[in-house]
Copies of this chain bind each other. A is one copy, B any other.
């Protein structure tokens, strides 16, 4: 790889002049500029960002940690974040924590070592993040949490309006005539899951329906576990719900498999509603009514927030909390409950 010095020699100027034409910070005469640019092209010269960063102590790089980019929600977030970063001349390093707290700690350290100027973080499910996050913040590393927001840490965050979305889903089911609505959640130490459950409860309360603990099926994020749990629950005929509301994708897949392996189908035997799309396209059956999160926008907005923090320096002390609305995409799985069934 050629260096700035070689470019300078070839163009017959000093390194300073080359630097000036590259950064554009200082005016350079037409003549020299052309010579420098020619030399750059001839040599296929690419400025060494590493050296530049060392000098300027600016990398113009952000990091983003997601649990698992093979879950379609996250790539969308990353794309949004990448785009926003790019708009401001930053690049983005994306890494997977595979839902592991240790890995997340490593990655945080790695990103800091790489001198990223800020970090977008979707915290791993099992991680006790509070103290770690405080260390980050105390160290002055700009951080924005996405999707999952940690408890009791004064950090910027962007996520969906979970309570509203939870209520929206439940309202929809009620409106379609369902009354015994089971909610299948992931681990409730994830605040998101809690909030969605809250929305569900609010909606039922508003409708004057008694909350039934028997209809809150708490699980985890492992599809297989959820399937067996739901199968067990569903096999108890007397207590079977008439609708199932899942608070996330992996959970929903488990629940839906359970529904099928119990010989049931949706919407004939029960209605089905979930957060997050389960298929790439709605031509597949059963077509599942879904609460769609604005994933791209979440990433984009988070990136913007982070860049604001970075460029405004440590001046802003207030914590920003952005909540974006979800959308309900109605499909067959929640069609109106037939009247004669409603008598049950």
Restricting to A260-295, which residues have a CB under 8 Å from any CB of B?
260, 278-281, 283-286
Q: How far is the CB of A129 from chain B (nearest CB, A)?
A: 16
B residues in contact with A280, CB < 8 Å = 72, 249, 253, 278-280
B residues in contact with A70, CB < 8 Å = 72, 75-76, 79
Chain B residue nearest to A63 in the complex (CB): B93
Are B281's CB and A257's CB within 8 A?
yes
Q: Which of B59, B74, B257, B283 contacts A50 (CB 8 A)?
A: B59
Count of chain A residues near B, Cβ 8 A? 49
Q: Which of B1, B75, B109, B110 contacts A69 (CB 8 A)?
A: B75
Bound-complex Cα distance A114 to B283 (A): 43
Q: Which of B47, B115, B257, B281 contacts A113 (CB 8 A)?
A: B47
Chain B residue nearest to A115 in the complex (CB): B50
Q: Which of B91, B92, B109, B260 contacts A283 (CB 8 A)?
A: B260
Return the CB mask of A224-251 against B: 1 if under 8 Å, else 0. 0000000000000000000000000100
Apart from the given pairs A70-B72, A94-B94, 10 other A-B contacts in the complex at a CB distance below 8 Å: A46-B109, A49-B114, A50-B53, A50-B114, A54-B54, A70-B75, A256-B281, A278-B279, A284-B284, A284-B285
Q: Is A148 engaged at the interface, CB distance under 8 Å to the other chain?
A: no
Q: How far is the CB of A64 from chain B (nearest CB, A)?
A: 10
Q: Is A10 engaged at the interface, CB distance under 8 Å to the other chain?
A: no
Q: Is A26 engaged at the interface, CB distance under 8 Å to the other chain?
A: no
B residues in contact with A286, CB < 8 Å = 284-285
Copies of the polypeptide in the assembly: 2
Chain B residue nearest to A74 in the complex (CB): B75
Are A110's CB and B91's CB within 8 A?
yes
Q: How far is the CB of A77 from chain B (nearest CB, A)?
A: 10
- The A interface is mostly helix, strand or loop, or mixed, namely mixed
Q: Is A78 engaged at the interface, CB distance under 8 Å to the other chain?
A: yes
Q: How far is the CB of A46 from chain B (nearest CB, A)?
A: 4
Are A139's CB and B1's CB within 8 A?
yes
Bound-complex Cα distance A50 to B50 (A): 6
Chain B residue nearest to A139 in the complex (CB): B44
Q: How far is the CB of A281 from chain B (nearest CB, A)?
A: 5
For the complex of A and B, the 4 pairs showing the least CB-CB separation, nearest first, are A284-B284, A69-B75, A285-B285, A46-B112
B residues in contact with A94, CB < 8 Å = 93-94
Bound-complex Cα distance A219 to B74 (A): 29
Restricting to A68-91, which residues have a CB under 8 Å from any CB of B?
68-70, 72, 74-76, 78-79, 82, 91
Bound-complex Cα distance A54 to B46 (A): 15
Instruction: Tell whether A279 pairs with B283 under 8 Å between CB atoms, given A50-B59, A72-B72, A115-B50.
Output: no
Are A257's CB and B283's CB within 8 A?
yes
Are B48's CB and A115's CB within 8 A?
yes
Bound-complex Cα distance A72 to B44 (A): 35
Bound-complex Cα distance A109 to B45 (A): 9
Q: Is A96 engaged at the interface, CB distance under 8 Å to the other chain?
A: yes
